[in-house]
Amino acid sequence: MSKIHVIIPAAGSGSRTGQETPKQFARIGNKTIIEYIEGIFSRVHLIDSISIALHPNEKFISSGNFQFSKKTNILYCGGESRAQTVLNTLFEIGEGKDDDWILVHDAARIGITESIVNKFIMEISVDKVGGIVAFPVPDTVKRVNKRLEVITTEEREFLWLAQTPQMFKCNVLKKAIQSFNGCPTDEAEAIEATGLKPKIFKGSALNFKITYPEDLLRAQSAIQLINQGII
């Protein structure tokens, strides 16, 4: 029976938040973001293991009092890009997992819930390709030129904002990243380049990625809503 392994790429510097501390180690309440996210996945019984992939020179974990579950391994195998970090982690995880599912989640996407993860796994695990959590584009989308002049208005009915987790079979994901011409922005792009069509699973607007300083305030509000059971 296929197992499910989570990879949390956490090797980035998070420079756009304007803080010296990488965003995945920023505190919201009494937990760091990485602890909060790891805790969500560790409580999902369908998940067998979690790998947090850090930069080889990362010092925050070793110097801090971080609390992770027994499911979780800390790996210092981060690369220059998210894709390289994921690929390095796939090799670190080891042999014998080719037919297992790999679930990748951003280290700074805090609005995920156990309920979403459980439903996502149940639906995507029966798909022949795999899939991603995403959210339909709520606003009118404009395509512009290099001078920032509007060229046209896109049909948003078929436009979705890619989120994470993203889930694919280990051997398929590994080959897709290795064969990709360039650097894919996410796992799904690498899979798409092989001709496969990942399935969309509707997520939540609160499952945004912390990128800018104001996102940390949004994240606090998102956690409050989640804890209150509003989503």
pLDDT, tens digit, 9 for 90 and up, residues 102-131: 999 999 998 999 999 999 999 999 999 999
What is the identity of the amino acid at 12? Answer: G
Residue 144 lies in a domain: no
Residue 155 lies in a domain: no
Pick out the chain residues at pLDDT < 70. 1, 13-20, 63, 229-231
Domain count along the chain = 1
Residue 115 lies in a domain: yes
Residue 30 lies in a domain: yes
Could you please report the per-residue DSSP string of 41-74?
A: HHT-TT--EEEEE--TT--HHHHS-----TTEEE
Signed CA dihedral, 81, 110, 66, 102: sign only: negative
Burial class, 171, CB count within 10 angstroms (exposed 0-12 / middle 13-18 / buried 19+): middle
Domain encompassing residue 21: 4-130+163-227
Residue 25 lies in a domain: yes
| pTM: predicted TM-score of the whole model, two decimal places | 0.92
Residue 152 lies in a domain: no
Residue 145 lies in a domain: no
- Mean pLDDT computed over every residue of the chain: 91
Residue 21 lies in a domain: yes
CATH code, domain carrying 122: 3.90.550.10
pLDDT of residue 1: 67
Radius of gyration of the CA atoms of the chain, in A: 18
